[in-house]
Every structure is written in structure tokens, then in C-alpha cells.
Amino acid sequence: MTKPIIEVKNLAKSFGKNAVLKDITEQVDPGQVIVVIGPSGGGKSTFLRCLNLLETPTSGEVDFDGEDLTTLDTKRVNELREEMGMVFQGFNLFPNMTVLENIKLAPMKVKGIDDAAATKRAHELLKQVNLDDHADAFPSSLSGGQAQRVAIARALAMDPKVMLFDEPTSALDPEMVGEVLNVMQELANQGMTMVVVTHEMGFAKSVANRVWFMADGYIQENNTPEAFFSNPQTARAQDFLSKILM
Amino acid sequence: MKKRVVLFFALVLALVTGFTAMTPTTANAATDTSLSKVQKKGTLVMGTSPDYPPYEFQATVHGKTKIVGMDVAVGEKIAKDMGVKLVVKSMSFDSLLVALQTGKVDMVISGMNPTPARRKNVDFTHTYYQGGYSIVINKSDKGIYKNKDSFVNKTIGAQTGSTMYNESKKQTSGTTVKGMTSVSDLILALQSHKIQGVAMEKPSAQAYVANNKELAAIPSDFDLSASDTSASAAFKKGSTALVAAANKSVDQIKKQNLVNKTYLPAAGKYLKTNTVNTSMFHYWKAFLTGIEYTLIITVCSVFFGFIIGVILALARMGQGGVVKTGLRWLATAYVEFIRGTPMMVQVMFVYFGLGLIVNLPALTSGIIAISLNSGAYVAEYIRGGINSVDDGQTEAARSLGMSSGKTMRFVVLPQALKNIWPSLGNEFITLIKDSSIVSIIGVSELIFQSNIVRSDTYRGVAPIAVIMVLYFILTFTASRILNYFERRMQHD
């Protein structure tokens, strides 16, 4: 049995009196693609952001590669974050830098890679996301789909072991969703470990190894996509699936 | 962070010592090293307010502006007799005694009367000159005013802080007394009929009348004791040895009647050369120096002010922990305090107050004061700029493994800077203008230089018009340059 890369134990997170995550214990194995689905406000994004400590859990453990992030000092957390790339709903590209500079910044400033090597790697990644012709463009001139692909390339530039996707296609025009999902699917095919929060049920069905159904601060179901979509166990999941167009 | 705290303590210390310095120190002749100190350093620094011809004024000698006049001659004699070199430092009359007490100058000779009130704070030599008072009026009014009593329901002007000012107040009734810092301003006020007469020392009055055909002098008829009309050199309280040495020179000056025989005629000659060519072009060098210093002060203050501003802004935004809370509190207090006190007061405090601990030159003091002031304002701009950067930017940077420091430096600050660039540009342009405040401590920036040209040429308005245009050229050029960079930063 392989050692899990991410292990979450009794994770809880409250904002003031509002308990968003109540008690979550799950694990992610290397090479797995986990898709987290569920109704809005169910704590999916908060859960994902707890994984790289963008949100500090109120209680519980988040183990990455055997180290409990909640007990580590800031320096070590920063180091471990390099290994977890994150893609945001709103892209969060740096608007004052070109596409190439966006990708090169962290490798150069954090890993200390020299400009030539960083540039070479950035061009490779841009080719991977089919955007090498936009290397010198500024983010404001990109479409949403292009911007999100740049964001993926930027996260990959740190050579992470895990990629976290926080609703990567929710802010996109429908016709651009496909190009982003294709890139993600390719990544999955290459064996990248991924945790994806999304409303794209098609992606969940075709790419995910496991589907986690999350609502009311708990992971209500953890199953294979086939089993989950054809035969949801909980009333909460049945209710959710009956309401979405498949 | 550490440096800021140190600076804060320095300020507190300066404040404390500032208060103790206000109580007069008692003389101690036994340990008086004042004379040996001066001889050791080889220079005698004389403070004077050079807008009071023929006592002291600025003249162009071989293309260089120089402070001349009978007081300078007296100072030179004193220094020569002590075997040291005279260094003349110019500042406003009000600041002279403070400068003496805080050790900025060793000696003050500025047509100063040894009044009992002043004697409490400084030591005076014997008098080297016995003058009297006149009132300068417009020639056209010659029939109307006879003496001090003719100014009922009118206004007499006098230099603020001077004996004439106090006596005019005391010895007239129904007359308004208006104080201004410089005599050239008073003459200008007279000529534009804002005031009807200017009380000043007789030799000064004669000089003004001789150089300006529209003016006339009338006797003041003030009832004066000898000390009110005499001029003495002032030294720091307790410097007995220095005063004794200076008295030897002063006694010689009086015995040989040097003032009337040599010094006054020499000063008169400078006055003549001054008024031969009063075209503003003739004084381009003075204005150039002004521009140079204005730019030095502005650029340095913008640079240091920005650094101080960034540090303050970061300190104000710190969250959690006792240290961070303390720093936040300190930074907030600093910003509020600086914004709640006039910059002029801050400039004087740094020069005279901080000067008690370290003897800072006027230019350095000015730059420090303005940087500290500007830093408080810039901090607020930067804080606003940082807050205006979307949280997503920070999250993206942190998710890539960047530390909070690197995130701030490489991601947030560059964007914040772009957002606040127009405000920072405004601050820069404001500083070009506000740097004029350091003229009060005698830094030769534009305002100061224009005042010199005004007292040199006896022309009140032309130099003001010149610096107005110069300031505009400076600010307009600066705003063009800033706009250029603003355009270059636009990517979205």
C-alpha cells in the first residue's frame, strides 16, 4: 500500500461562530485525482484552502508527505507550499507582469533558479498549455480560458507534487471551459496528483478516481465516480444530484 | 524596525533635553572652557540675520554672495584677536539666540541690543556701537508724519523679536504695530502702503533712504535707555572667558572709533555695488543655488520619506503578537502626531532640539525633518495602496511558496506603488514647494535666496516673481516626468 501524500484528520474550521468545516478525515494517495463536489456554501473551497494552509484550521491535522502542516513554522510551511500548486477561480495572475514573468517569478525568487533556466522552463510549460505565442502578453489582454491556463503553468513551474484546483472553470465563459479542462485532463493523464473543487460533473465522471461529496461541513460520501453518480448513498447526495442537470 | 525605535527614543530624548535647555544654566567660571574650545577648533561661528544694512547684509563680491556689513567687520576683528577664523552663518533674527543656546553658533552679532530680558539668557560684550532709532516713511508722506506720535490710527512696522518692535508697542498709543521677520518685507509693506512707517536703527534707515529715492527717514523720538540703542555681541550664558576675550577687541574698536571710521564706510561701499545692478539676471547665481538646494532637499526627502513611509505602513498593518501590536501602536501614534503638528515646528525642533544631542548642519536637519514629515503622509498612501491590491494576489504568491516578505516585495508593493503613483507624485510636488520651510533655519533654498536678493537689491517684488516662475518650472517638469512613468506602468 502506498503512503498517502495528503492526510486530513478531524479537520475543523470556524469563522467566528460559523462552523464551515466540522470534522473531516480523508486521505489522498499519490497519482489520485480527487474531485470535490457539493452545494455552494458547503465548505469545499475552505477545505481546499486548508490543505495548503491559506486558511488556518481551527482544529485537526493536515499532513503533507507525513508532516503535519498545522504544527510547522512559517518557513517550513512556505517550503511545503512549493510542492502544492494552486489554481484559483479568479486566476490571480499578477497584472503588472507579462505571462512569462508571471511564470518565472516564483522559481527565480523562491528557488533561486537563474533567469535563463527559468525562461526555458516557462516556455516549455507554456507549450504544454498551448500558449507559448502569448509569452510576452500582459494578463489583461488574455481571455479567461487563456488566463487560467497561464495560472496552471505558473503553478506547475514550481514542480509541485500535488495540484489544488479551486473551481477553476467557474469564472469562465462556457466556450472556454473545455480548453482548461483539457489541460487538466492531460495533467491527470501524466500522473499528477490533483484535488479539484468543481461543478463540472462531466470532468468528475471522466477524470476522477474518487468523488468526495461535501455538504454542511462534512464529506458525506467518498466513492468512485461511477458508483457515486449511479447510486448515491446519502439522501443529501441524492437530493443534490436530482437538482443538477446531467 | 529597530532603527525606527531608536529614532523614536532619540526624539523623546530630544524633547526632554529640549525642556531642560529652556531653564537658564548657571555660569561656572571655574570650569569655563569656552575660549579654549573655540581656539581648539580654530573657528568662531557667528550667527547673524543678514537683512539689516549696514549692520549686516548680503552683497555680491567677485561674483559670489557674501555676508558683509559693520557687524561682520566687528566679528572679524574679534576672531582675529582670538587667533581663529570667522565663519558667518545666516539665519532669521528670531532663531539667533536659540542657535546660540543650542551651540549652533558661538557668537551672535546682529545689531542686537543687550536688553535685560536677553541678558537673562545670554552674556553680552560691551557695546561696540551706540545707535538710535529712526522711522522710515514714504517720501510722499513726509509732511504728515513727524515722529512716533504721528501714527495714531496708523500702522508702524518693525522686525519681529527686535527692540524696536517692543518699544513701538510700549511707547505709542492708538498705533498698530505690525511685526515681520525681515526688514525687506517691511519696506515692501511700506511701499505698498500696508503700513505707514518702519521703525529701525538709524544706520539702517540711512542706508535704505540712500538707496531708495521714494523713502525718507524721520526721527523716532523714542525714549530710550542706553542699552536699547546700543549693539553688543552675544555669547552663550556662562562663557566668561570668551566674553572677556571679545571685550578686549570691542574696547579697541570703541577706542579707535573703528565703526564710524572704517566699518561703516566699507559697508556703504558694498551697499553701492549692490544697487548698481539690480536686474534679476545679475543674480542668476543666487537663484541657481536656490534651485540646487531646493532640489537636493526635495529629492533626498522624497527618497528617505518613501523608505520611512514603507516601514511605517508595514508596521501599521502588522497583526498579532505583542511586538507587532506595539509597533503598530507606535507607528499609528507617530503618523497622527506628525500629521497633527506644523512642519515648520518640526523643522525647528529637529534643528534646535535634536541639535542638542548631535550637531547637525541646517541642510541635514531640514532633510531629516522633511523626510520624517513626508514619511508619515507617504505611509498613509502606501497603506491605502497595499489595501487596494486584491487579496487573491497575496494568496497566489503564498500558494507558490513565497514568504510574506517576498510576496510584499515582489507582488504587492509593485502593484500598490502603481495604484498610488499619482498620490506619490502629488507628495513630490508638494515637497518641492514645502521645502521652502527650511529657509527659517538658514538653508539657502529658493525662498531664502530670494529674500537675500530682495534685501540686496531693495527690490521687493521682482525676486518673488522670479521664484514663482522657477517653482512653477520645477513642479511642472516634475509632474511631466511623473506622468511619463505613470503611463509606462499602465498594463491593465
CB contact under 8 A, B398 and A81: yes
Q: Does A139 contact chain B (CB < 8 Å)?
A: yes
Collect all residues with Cβ–Cβ distance below 8 Å to B119 and sequence separation of at least 6.
none
CB contact under 8 A, B400 and A88: no
Residue A171 distance to chain B (closest CA, Å): 14
> Based on the number of CB atoms within 10 Å of its own CB, is A245 exposed (0-12), middle (13-18) or buried (19 or more)?
exposed
CB contact under 8 A, B396 and A52: no
Closest among A71, A73, A49 to A59, alpha carbons compared: A71
CB contact under 8 A, A158 and B401: yes
CB contact under 8 A, B399 and A52: yes
Q: What pLDDT band is residue B33 in, cutting at 50, 70 and 90?
A: confident
SS3 A159: coil
Q: How far is CA B54 from CA B16, B51, B65, B246, B470, in A?
A: 40, 9, 16, 21, 30
- B429 has pLDDT over 60: yes
- B394 has pLDDT over 90: yes
SS3 A166: strand
- B1 has pLDDT over 70: no
pLDDT for B3: 44
pLDDT tens string B72-121 = 999 999 999 999 999 999 888 888 888 898 888 999 999 898 888 899 99
pLDDT tens string B127-156 = 998 878 889 999 988 888 888 888 888 899
**Between A35 and B176, where is the model more confident?**
A35
Q: What pLDDT band is residue B313 in, cutting at 50, 70 and 90?
A: very high
Q: Which residue has the cell 508595514?
A: B314
pLDDT for B27: 43
Kindly state the average pLDDT of the residues B413-427: 91
The kind and range of the H/E element at B160 are: none
Q: What residues does B122 pair with on adjacent strands? A: B236
Report chain B residues whose CB lies below 8 A from the CB of A150: none
- For residues B447 and B443, what is the distance between their CA atoms, to the nearest angstrom? 9
- B492 has pLDDT over 80: no
Mean confidence (pLDDT) of chain B: 85
pLDDT for B24: 43
Residue B491 distance to chain A (closest CA, Å): 6
- For residues B108 and B93, what is the distance between their CA atoms, to the nearest angstrom? 10
Q: Does A86 contact chain B (CB < 8 Å)?
A: yes
pLDDT for B149: 85
Q: What pLDDT band is residue B9 in, cutting at 50, 70 and 90?
A: very low
**Measured between CB atoms, which of B395, B399, B491 is closest to A95?**
B491
- For residues B37 and A186, what is the distance between their CA atoms, to the nearest angstrom? 84
- For residues B308 and B221, what is the distance between their CA atoms, to the nearest angstrom? 56
Report chain A residues whose CB lies below 8 A from the CB of B395: 54, 86, 88, 92
- B17 has pLDDT over 60: no
pLDDT tens string B451-488 = 878 776 767 788 889 999 999 999 999 999 998 988 88
Kindly state the average pLDDT of the residues A191-216: 94
| Of the candidate ranges A195-199, B10-14, B258-262, B321-325, the one whose mean pLDDT is the lowest | B10-14
Q: How far is CA A157 from CA A146, A163, B297, in A?
A: 16, 11, 46
CB contact under 8 A, A96 and B396: no
CB contact under 8 A, B492 and A79: no
Kindly state the average pLDDT of the residues B372-393: 94
b/e map of A37-64 (b: 16 or more CB within 10 Å)? bbbeebbbbbbbbbbbbbbebeebebbb
Q: Does A140 contact chain B (CB < 8 Å)?
A: yes
pLDDT for B273: 62
Closest among A17, A69, A14, A66 to A43, alpha carbons compared: A14
* A&B contacts, CB < 8 Å: 76
Q: Does A79 contact chain B (CB < 8 Å)?
A: yes
CB contact under 8 A, A94 and B411: yes
For residue A11, the tally of other CB atoms under 10 A from its CB is: 23
Range B312-321, long-range pairs (CB < 8 A, 24+ positions): B312/B4, B312/B375, B312/B376, B312/B378, B312/B379, B313/B378, B313/B379, B313/B380, B313/B382, B313/B383, B313/B386, B314/B408, B315/B1, B315/B4, B316/B379, B316/B383, B317/B383, B317/B386
pLDDT for B380: 92
**Measured between CB atoms, which of A54, A83, A139 is closest to B398?**
A54
Q: What pLDDT band is residue B226 in, cutting at 50, 70 and 90?
A: low
Kindly state the average pLDDT of the residues B150-174: 86
Residue A237 distance to chain B (closest CA, Å): 31
| Of the candidate ranges B215-229, B302-316, B340-354, the one whose mean pLDDT is the lowest | B215-229
- B26 has pLDDT over 60: no
C-alpha cell at B137: 516713511
Report chain B residues whose CB lies below 8 A from the CB of A93: 396
**Measured between CB atoms, which of A106, A139, A151 is closest to B401?**
A106
For residue B27, the tally of other CB atoms under 10 A from its CB is: 14
Mean confidence (pLDDT) of chain A: 93
Collect all residues with Cβ–Cβ distance below 8 Å to B320 and sequence separation of at least 6.
none
pLDDT for A178: 93
pLDDT for B150: 87
Judge contact between B164 and B133, C-beta under 8 A.
Answer: yes
pLDDT for B13: 44
Kindly state the average pLDDT of the residues A141-164: 96
Kindly state the average pLDDT of the residues B260-281: 74
- Give the relative orientation of helices B362-388 and B284-317 as an angle to the nearest 10 degrees: 40
Report chain B residues whose CB lies below 8 A from the CB of A69: none
Q: Does A109 contact chain B (CB < 8 Å)?
A: yes
- B29 has pLDDT over 80: no
- B60 has pLDDT over 60: yes
Kindly state the average pLDDT of the residues B346-360: 84
Is the CA virtual torsion B383, B389, B390, B395 positive or negative? Answer: negative
**Measured between CB atoms, which of B392, B404, B410 is closest to A88?**
B392
Q: Mutation test of the interface with chain B: which of A55, A56, A81, choosing the one with the most B Cβ atoms within 10 A? A: A81
CB contact under 8 A, A74 and B403: yes
pLDDT for B90: 87
Residue B412 distance to chain A (closest CA, Å): 9
pLDDT for B25: 43
Report chain A residues whose CB lies below 8 A from the CB of B491: 95-96, 138, 140
pLDDT for A60: 94
Q: Which residue of B has its CA nearest to A142?
A: B492
pLDDT for B179: 87
Identify the contact set of chain B against chain A, taking CB-CB distances under 8 A.
Answer: 390, 392-393, 395-404, 406, 410-411, 414-415, 418, 489, 491-492
pLDDT for B20: 45
| Of the candidate ranges B16-30, B50-64, B82-96, the one whose mean pLDDT is the lowest | B16-30
pLDDT tens string A55-113 = 999 999 999 999 999 999 999 999 999 999 999 999 999 999 999 999 999 999 999 99
